[in-house]
């Protein structure tokens, strides 16, 4: 039970710090002190240190021993590279699952797109991103490809900061129609079109980096 609790604390610290970086609450270049973060989160230093090490591996934090730990700057080339990898994985998921989704899967995608549209109209970036994740997540889960899912999870945090800029922009409303077209292609079993539309949706992230 001790090990389970320790893992949960580590995950809590990781998610809290990651989300603060993505939302800009911890801005690029901000110094990170494990003791201060632990106090802020109401945790011990150990799970915070583990979380910072994981975030460093993911490229959101950089550390120089005996010198500093800080939020990394947004490097356009690195974001483009990560976005290209994430796009390729989502294309693969769309291609692999088009035509094999259940009616419940398609309904879940439609409901997520409705939430996405409502969120973009009211300017709720967090809700829009969550709905977008849910929509594409249906395809990722349906693919049953663990390596694909792990790759998306590994590289998505790196692009989140610029992704928020896109969702804050009116261009996000274009994604509503593209999502509808993607759902239709999946329902029709048109794998090439599903992959093409997925690429179109995700390439917009590479364009803003």
Per-residue model confidence as pLDDT tens digits over 105-117: 999 999 999 999 9
Of 126, 125, 113, nearest in space to 201 by CA: 113
Identify whether residues 34 and 88 lie together within a single domain: no
- State which of 31, 49, 71 marks the end of a domain: 71
Q: How many domains does the chain have?
A: 2
- Residue 197, C-beta contacts closer than 8 angstroms, at least 6 positions apart: 94, 178, 181, 182, 185
Identify whether residues 52 and 126 lie together within a single domain: no
Identify whether residues 36 and 81 lie together within a single domain: no
Identify whether residues 118 and 200 lie together within a single domain: yes
Long-range contacts of 164-170 (CB under 8 A, 24+ apart): 164/22, 164/23, 164/24, 164/125, 164/129, 165/208, 166/204, 166/205, 166/208, 167/120, 167/125, 167/128, 167/129, 167/132, 168/123, 168/125
CB 182 within 8 A of CB 63: no
Average pLDDT over residues 54-77: 89
**Considering Cα of 20, then 25, then 26, then 29, what sign does the dihedral take?**
positive
Containing domain of residue 9, as a range? 2-71
CB 47 within 8 A of CB 9: yes
For residue 63, give the H/E element and its range: strand 61-64
User: pTM score, two decimals?
Assistant: 0.82
Per-residue pLDDT tens digits for 121-171: 888 888 988 999 999 999 999 999 999 999 999 888 888 887 776 666 656
DSSP string, 33-46: -HHHHHHHHT--HH
**What is the CATH number for 20?**
1.10.10.10
Q: In whole numbers, what is the pLDDT of the chain averaged over residues?
A: 89
Identify whether residues 177 and 91 lie together within a single domain: yes
Identify whether residues 80 and 67 lie together within a single domain: no
CB 38 within 8 A of CB 44: yes
What's residue 167's pLDDT?
A: 67
Identify whether residues 147 and 85 lie together within a single domain: yes
Identify whether residues 49 and 149 lie together within a single domain: no
Segment among 34-38, 57-61, 150-154, 201-205 with least mean pLDDT: 201-205
Identify whether residues 63 and 102 lie together within a single domain: no
What's residue 205's pLDDT?
A: 65
- State which of 25, 47, 71 marks the end of a domain: 71
Per-residue pLDDT tens digits for 178-189: 999 999 999 999
């Amino acid at each position: 039970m001790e090990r389970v609790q320790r893992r949960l604390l580590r995950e809590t610290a990781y998610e809290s710090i990651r989300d603060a970086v993505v939302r800009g609450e911890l801005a690029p270049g901000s110094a990170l002190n494990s003791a201060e973060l632990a106090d802020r989160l109401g945790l011990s230093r150990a799970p915070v240190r583990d979380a910072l090490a994981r975030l460093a591996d993911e490229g959101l934090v950089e550390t120089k021993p005996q010198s500093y730990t800080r939020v990394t700057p947004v490097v356009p080339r690195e974001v483009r590279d990560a976005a290209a990898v994430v796009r390729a994985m989502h294309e693969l998921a769309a291609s692999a699952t088009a035509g094999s989704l259940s009616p419940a899967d398609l309904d879940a995608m439609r409901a997520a797109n409705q939430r996405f549209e409502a969120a973009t109209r009211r300017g709720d970036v967090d809700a829009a991103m969550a709905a977008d994740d849910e929509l594409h997540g249906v395809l990722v889960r349906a693919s049953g490809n663990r390596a694909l899912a792990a790759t998306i999870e590994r590289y998505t945090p790196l692009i989140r900061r610029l992704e928020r800029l896109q969702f804050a922009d009116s261009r996000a409303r274009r994604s509503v129609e593209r999502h509808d077209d993607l759902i239709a292609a999946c329902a029709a079993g048109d794998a090439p079109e599903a992959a093409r539309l997925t690429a179109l949706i995700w390439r917009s992230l590479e364009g803003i980096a």
